[in-house]
Amino acid sequence: MSYNAVETIVAKRDGGHLEDAQISWLINAYTNGTIADEQMAAMAMAVLFRGLDDAELNAWTNAMINSGERLNFDGLARFAVDKHSTGGVGDKITLILAPLVAACGAAVPQLSGRGLGHTGGTLDKMEAIPGWQAYLDDAGMRHQLETVGAVICAAGADLCPADKKLYALRDVTGTVESIPLICSSIMSKKIAEGAHGLVLDVKVGSGAFMKTPERAHELATRLVGLGKGAGVATVALLTDMSTPLGLTAGNALEVAEAVEVLAGGGPADIVELTLALAREMVALAGLDVDPADALADGRAMDVWHALVRAQGGDPEAPLPASRHSDDIVAAASGFVTRLDAYDVGVAAWRLGAGRARKEDAVQAGAGVVLKVKPGDKVVKGDVVMTLHTDTPERFADARRALEDALEIGPTAPPPTPLVIDRVV
């Protein structure tokens, strides 16, 4: 049966159900250039408003997987398990988690991405390490998994090319927030990647794409359903992203904080979330170990050093530092009652830690260092944040982003859980 782009768009626009073959044709035609960007933009907007039912979402995801190659980790001596975060501010968890879970006995093929807008990217953080290379071919990736146990790298050009085109289109057409399009984007890459198990860190709050627990739960449920349907053992944690994770937002700053955790220190929230995700990953891998032990005894740090060196980096080299800094002080005395993740992420972005377009460069040393978190007591005039950049003319815009980021009140706020829910 032949299909037509306009008829397919109209069918979804009017709430119709798209057949599997029709969706496969649509994705293939867009990938090979038969369907123009403006037509796929219209389809993405139709999906944003009308959604995709479970059958449509499954077909859409499979079509994106089938647009390129699939990796296969069968035959590895270790169970291959991956983690994916839906994106946040100060989220350097992958840098600790990959070597930690590898130290527990699993293989961790961590295909990662770059930051865009207020959310940071794992590859940008890793590239702050002198000499470190993001790109490995399939053979190199498999060899590193066999010898080191973990790899953090960019996805190859042949992995889900449909997603690369559609992701870029969504970013400039206001359709990023569509739950079906988020699901198919994440899971097409993760299923094609070939891991046997997957733990999803679904962020919820001001610094996340999903602002409410209800939306985050819907996203997590559909992601888990796609994973299990593809034969991948999958579990999701809903975690708070109303406050930045840890005390840093910015590439080299976050690497330094991750290394601090690997050395047995670091902020309590980073340690808590890392261990929560690691325990889910080792459970999927069938390993009867406690990741806290591998963090405490230095095994995770040993794998980190091996991972960085295997990809050309020097784990002992000094990290880049920005040339200029600027302090923000408390406007009143009291307790920090709110520290908004989105505002901090925007400030780090404006300082040069992030990018507005995929082709933009980032400053490795730029970002925000937090001196306080919600619940901390401050005195008027105390330094509450320090801004870092190589281009001091950016300070004014960063300060504007932070005007309402921090609130101070007479009493400390009640503690809020970091892990909100678990979806299986």
Q: Are 23 and 58 in contact (CB under 8 A)?
A: no
Residue 237 · residue 280 · CB < 8 Å: yes
| Tokens read off for 177 | 């927030």
For the annotated catalytic residues, the residue numbers are 84, 163, 170, 185, 189
Torsion sign, CA atoms 47, 38, 33, 172:
negative
In angstroms, rounded to a whole number, what is the distance separating the alpha carbons of residues 178 and 50?
10
Q: How far apart are CA 50 and CA 229, in angstroms?
A: 23
Single-letter amino acid code for the residue at 203: K
- What is the rounded CA–CA span in Å between residue 10 and residue 296? 57
**235 alpha-carbon distance from chain centroid:** 16
Angle at 354 between CA 349 and CA 357, to 5 degrees: 115
Beta-bridge partner residues of 378: 334
